[in-house]
A and B are shown apart, each in its own frame.
Chain A
Amino acid sequence: MVSADKELAYNSKIEGDVVVTRADAAINWLRSNSMWPMPMGLACCAIELMATASSRYDIARFGAEVMRFSPRQSDCMIVAGTVTYKMAVHVRRIWDQMAAPKWCIAMGACASTGGMYRSYATLQGVDRILPVDVYVSGCPPRPEALLDALLKLQNKVKRERSLSNQLKTA
């Protein structure tokens, strides 16, 4: 029995050991549920990022507790903190070293827009140097807000046309 449902669906009585689904559904489900962050923890938001990874708020529920500090091994860069112009160069370099597919969460006011630092030294939003998928407001955002951003990112990933993207770039 073939289902036209785009969601990954499995009924063991009907399908037995075989799961039939769209490639996109499977790929997106795998990607969104094992979103390994590259924690670009630059300032105070990094403390809340650490709190989100701790047991009380537990980012591990969503598969994202694997904070890989190596850009080669991570999927999602969480820019947590103030990006100065001096540091922006290095943030961009780390972003370039991440392998596709990659996403970015701009955590906090400073990463989203420059925050309270309307000054000569602060980059007015990390989206001036790299493409951001989800913005989180707050100074710092509560861990629940960061988890909400992660869920929004997961929903965004689930809507992507991954197979066509893969075939295009191949």
Chain B
Amino acid sequence: MNDVAAALQERIPAATPRPSADHPAFNVPAADAIAALQFLRDAQGYDYLVDVTAIDWSAEQSPRFTVVWHLYSSTKHVYVRLAANCADDKEPAMPTATGLWPGADWHERECYDLLGVTFTGHPDLRRILMWDGYPYFPLRKEFPLAGLPAELPDLEIAAETGTRLISAPMAGGPFVAPASGQPMSAAEPRAKDEAWNEDSAKPGTT
């Protein structure tokens, strides 16, 4: 572990260790991200790209988006994590890793689809889980779990059924299990606020 840190720091002086509970992790500037990934793959033997993902720290924070790569060495059987902040908060962008691993293609499409992080140089950057015309980025912090109203993907079907996307009814809020330490029967998921649902308003309000 220490030799990876030392080697990476020597190759990319701006790399700093990142607090991590499980595996060695490093922060790098966005401009050095691809060089760091290539170094880890070619010189350090991290040949398998496990995941490319991103973190949205919320609109109040700057930098807002951090892209995270997880690498695994199939020869040494160890993991490493690399993280880089996106320069722009409004239009986050990061160079693509598809030149190093073709498998990064779909991971980066998912990041783009759900968080809006653009990967420059990506061969086919379009939505993968939601449909192409979907107007929002669902995993951003300001987007509610229930969703926002929008149109169905197909205009013909939308016209025929008259249906739209709705905010899903969340009677009383998300259903969560209370903190553990209780017996199972008491730890069943309950609505966070059992005082109201769509049919009966909260007592005390209209």
A120 and B161 in contact, given A86-B130, A89-B153 (Cβ under 8 angstroms): no
Pick from B21-29, B51-59, B163-171 the stretch touching chain A. Answer: B163-171
Interface check B129, CB cutoff 8 A? yes
**Does B10 make an interface contact (CB < 8 A)?**
no
| Overall SS of chain B's interface | loop
**Size band of the B side of the interface?**
20 to 34
- Contact present for A120 and B148 (CB under 8 Å): yes
A92 to B157, CA, bound (A): 7
- Contact across chains for A118 and B169 when beta carbons are under 8 A apart: yes
Asked if A121 and B152 make an inter-chain contact with CB atoms under 8 angstroms apart, the answer reads: no
* B101 contacts A by Cβ under 8 Å: no
Q: Determine whether B60 belongs to the interface, using a CB cutoff of 8 Å to chain A.
A: no
CA distance A120 to B143 in the complex (A): 9
In the bound assembly, the distance between CA atoms of A98 and B61 in angstroms comes to 53
Cβ–Cβ < 8 Å partners of B147 in chain A: 119-121
A88 part of interface (Cβ distance < 8 Å)? yes
> Are A89 and B154 CB-contacts (below 8 A) given A121-B130, A129-B161?
yes
Residues of A within 8 A of B (CB): 85-86, 88-89, 92-93, 96, 114, 116-122, 124, 128-130
| 30 residue pairs A–B, Cβ–Cβ below 8 Å | A85-B131, A85-B153, A86-B130, A86-B131, A86-B153, A89-B153, A89-B154, A93-B157, A114-B168, A116-B175, A117-B168, A118-B146, A118-B169, A118-B174, A119-B145, A119-B147, A120-B138, A120-B143, A120-B147, A120-B165, A121-B130, A121-B138, A122-B168, A124-B166, A124-B168, A124-B169, A128-B163, A129-B157, A129-B161, A130-B161
